[in-house]
Amino acid sequence: MATVRIPTPLRSLTGGEESVQASGANVRALIDDLESNHPGIKDRLLDDKGVRRFVNIYVGEEDIRFLDGLDTPLQGNEEISIVPAIAGGL
Amino acid sequence: MTPRFVRSRQLGSIVDAVGNTPLLRLRRIASSAPDVEVFAKLEFMNPGGSVKDRPALRMMLDAIESGQLTTDKILIDATSGNTGVAYSMLGAALGYRVHLVMPKNVTKARKDITQAYGTEIIYSDPMEGSDGAIRLVRKIVQENPDKYFYPDQYSNPSNPLAHYLGTGQEILDAVGDRITHFVAGLGTSGTVMGTTRRLHEHTRPIHCVAAEPAEALHGLEGLKHMASSIVPEIYDPNLPDEIMPIATEAGWDMAERVAAEEGLNIGHSGGANIAAAVALAERAQREQGGGCVVTIIPDRGDRYFAPMKWEKRYTW
């Protein structure tokens, strides 16, 4: 199982948890697994073109945009981070 | 038109260049509402490059006058963005030290701008966004209350006051009785609160709208989804006549369109504001057959950068 770090605005979907466990052979499958346990989260992360433009998904310290995107393979022990592309501004 | 719009004036300090920004008619972007005038106030023409010069200056001047900000204190606040640039510029110009708390995932460019003015940065957890930075600055100030002046832009009445005295009045000076609608995005809510208060005092009714990100996880930097955020103390939800949700994609797409069609390279919050202004203009065209909509362009697009390859490794 991989550990997925959840940003504050999405914790309403994870019962307030900062990180949750999920599994999948690649990032796409991992997000499907997340969706089955935390319904609604997939639409927050993906649109019909893939990862939404303002969402960053990291495997370890690498943005999946610079790996194989949603097809980035997972061994199962990684730390996945969902990070908003912005830091809030203001 | 008052002489205050002349920009070739001689100034004694960079501080005097804050405010009195021009109002620009947007024609092409609002062609779907041909009988409605749409204007945008060009806040990127403030010397720090954004609308935040206004509240930052008002908060600092009011604190200097009341004795809360003295030269032996450090100004500290939670800001990953334009307010930090404004404090840094004004701190350098007025002679005050500045520390800023920001989430670690702020772009390098943003860190570099503030540091160029001599500002020191303290980092908060990137997963917790701007609310994490707010929590950290409160803790730092609580541990050393005498060392710091904490303007707290989310709670400081001088923030909306800057827009009541400045932005709102300047809009009336420029368009007078023609204005029928005003719209701006909610961040600290200072722009919406202060400007709306001034416009509601006008002799004719002006419909004032607060635009808000449609979702909790969004990409409209500088704006806040109130239902899922620490709600700013200065925010009064009953003041705006209407709250309008704006999708991130609508704001981003509009920012690209106004660059190509109007020659304005603006930030995403400006894109969201213009998207909201065009929606209001179309409604006014449909229901009233005309009108005048005013909105705000908080900053320029070159202040934002897409994730760059050389920034692909973050260390946190």
**Can you tell me the mean pLDDT for B13-23?**
96
A53 to chain B, closest Cα gap in Å: 8
Same structural domain for residues B170 and B139? no
User: Is residue B316 assigned to a domain?
Assistant: no
Residues B180, B291, single domain; the answer is: yes
Dihedral of the alpha carbons of A17, A19, A25, A31, in degrees to the nearest 10: 50
The verdict on a CB contact (< 8 Å) between B219 and A52 is yes
pLDDT value of residue B309: 43
Residues B203 and B178 placed together within one structural domain of the fold: yes
Domain presence at residue B176 = yes
Summarize pLDDT for B42-88 with one digit per residue, the tens: 999 999 999 999 999 999 999 999 999 999 999 999 886 899 999 99
pLDDT band of residue B229 (cuts 50, 70, 90) is confident
| Domain identity same for B34 and B62 | no
Inter-chain touch B129–A81, beta carbons under 8 Å: no
Shared-domain flag, residues B167 and B293? yes
Of residues B129, B134, B135, the one with CA closest to residue B103: B129
Residues in chain A: 90
Write down the ipTM of this complex: 0.84
Q: Which of B79, B217, B315 sits opposite A84 (nearest CB)?
A: B217
Q: What is the 3-state secondary structure (H, E, C) of chain B?
A: CCHHHCCCCCCCCHHHHCCCCCEEECCCCCCCCCCEEEEEEEHHHCCCCECCHHHHHHHHHHHHHHCCCCCCCEEEEECCCHHHHHHHHHHHHHCCEEEEEEECCCCHHHHHHHHHCCCEEEEECHHHHHHHHHHHHHHHHHHCCCCEECCCCCCCCHHHHHHHHHHHHHHHHHHHHHCCEEEEECCCCHHHHHHHHHHHCCCCCCEEEEEEECCCCCCCCCCCCHHHCCCCCCCCCCCCCEEEEECHHHHHHHHHHHHHHHCCCECHHHHHHHHHHHHHHHHHHHHHCCEEEEEEECEEHHHCCCCCHHHCECCC
* Domain ranges across chain A: 2-84
Structure tokens that stand for B253 in this block: 């797409």
Distance from CA of A20 to the nearest CA of B (A): 14
| Interface touch B217/A18, C-beta < 8 Å | no
* Interval A65-81 mean pLDDT: 94
Q: If you measure CA to CA, which chain B residue comes closest to A67?
A: B312
CB pairs under 8 A between A and B: 106
Distance, in Å, from the CA atom of B19 to the CA atom of B53, rounded to the nearest integer, reads: 8
Does the pLDDT value for residue B2 go beyond 70?
no
Task: Give the CATH number of domain A2-84; options: 3.50.50.60, 1.10.287.1040, 3.40.50.300, 3.10.20.30.
Answer: 3.10.20.30
Whether residues B197 and B97 share a domain: the answer is no
What range defines the domain where residue B105 resides? 53-153
| pLDDT of res. B8 | 67
- Quick one: B266 and B172 in the same domain? yes
Collapsing DSSP to helix, strand or coil, A75 comes out as coil
Residues on chain A touching B187 (C-beta within 8 angstroms): 89-90
A contacts of B313 (beta carbons < 8 Å)? 61-62
Question: What are A15-71's pLDDT values in tens digits?
Answer: 999 999 999 999 999 999 999 999 999 999 999 989 998 898 999 989 899 999 999
Give the side-chain half-sphere CA count within 13 A for B5. Answer: 13
* Confidence class for position B103, pLDDT limits 50, 70, 90: confident
User: Inter-chain contact A89–B221, Cβ cutoff 8 Å?
Assistant: yes
pLDDT band at B306 (very low <50, low <70, confident <90, very high): low
State how far the Cα of A10 lies from the Cα of B299, in Å rounded to an integer: 28
Reported as a single tens digit per residue, the pLDDT across B76-95 is 998 868 999 999 999 999 99
Among residues B223, B226, B212, the alpha carbon closest in space to that of B269 is found at B223
Distance CA B6, CA B239 (A): 33
Domain count, chain B: 2
Rounded Cα distance between B103 and A86, Å, is: 10
* Contact residues on chain A for B228, CB-CB shorter than 8 A: 8-9, 12
Q: Give the list of residues 6+ apart from residue B21 with CB closer than 8 angstroms, or none.
A: B41, B42, B43, B45, B46, B170
In a domain, B277, yes or no: yes
Q: Contact at 8 Å (CB) between B277 and B40?
A: yes
Q: Looking at the structure, do residues B261 and B175 belong to the same domain, yes or no?
A: yes
- Domain membership of residue B279 (yes or no) is yes
Contact B53, B299 (CB under 8 A): no
Nearest CB to B129; choose among A55, A58, A87: A87
Alpha carbon separation from B225 to A14, A75, B125, B195, B231 (Å, rounded): 19, 36, 19, 20, 9
**B133:A18 CB<8 A:** no
Beta bridge partners, B98, equal B75
Say if the Cβ atoms of A52 and B248 lie within 8 Å: yes
CB of B118 within 8 A of CB of B93? no
> pLDDT at residue B276 above 70?
yes
What is the distance in angstroms between the Cα of A25 and the nearest Cα belonging to chain B?
A: 23
CATH code, domain carrying B269: 3.40.50.1100
Same domain? B138 vs B283: no
Query: Is B168 found in the same domain as B277?
Result: yes
* Mean pLDDT estimate for chain B: 91
Higher pLDDT, B304 or B183: B183
Cβ pair A89:B216 closer than 8 A: no
Distance from CA of B81 to the nearest CA of A (A): 4
Amino acid at A77: N
